[in-house]
Structure 1
């Protein structure tokens, strides 16, 4: 199985646990999630809560640069956040979680804040998970 397929499989398995997620914690089966403080995210100005449990998961890619090590993926997460805040004028990075080719999951808006990843119809009822890179 290729590395990309393995990452996708891990992400999809983790998604199965979403229904069991607590309001403030990740499900135990999801493994470690790199917190915002570790990738040095800017402070979020988002306040709109996500209604849990969500019914859908939206999986996407950033269509930007890939990363293959924790330092490069932390930088890429900051780049995505900067683009979303400064260019798109969103309150934070649009995704709830970002996945790097280093095999790690990076906290975006997390489990409890509504994302800006798929439009006004789907955002309130879904978690947004994105792969950092362009997979077209």
Structure 2
């Protein structure tokens, strides 16, 4: 589930009211509408973190799954870039440097009062070139 990190270190999981198939699999829905929409507040100074199962299913040497909410709770980051850098480093340490699945991370920040807007474009590098 997506995570909303608050400026004070608080964290909220954005679980939908009703379960639905992951993005891209909606055409498999047989029992109802595939396009369910939820709404949540996005307060100034907060950062929204979206991620694939490559993050939440990463495991340590004992086979324990990585829990992004547990690992990020109480931490404060100046912006999305710093969050992604810290998260990438943390999951590499947690797994011992290896990943068994690909991982995609997207962090979107809403500037707080008096904070400048920041934009960054990052090139996509295929795994074979990384």
Per the TM superposition, whether the score is higher than 0.5 is: no
| TM-score class normalised by the smaller sequence | under 0.3
TM-score normalised per structure 2 = 0.26
Normalized per residue, the structure richer in helix is: 1
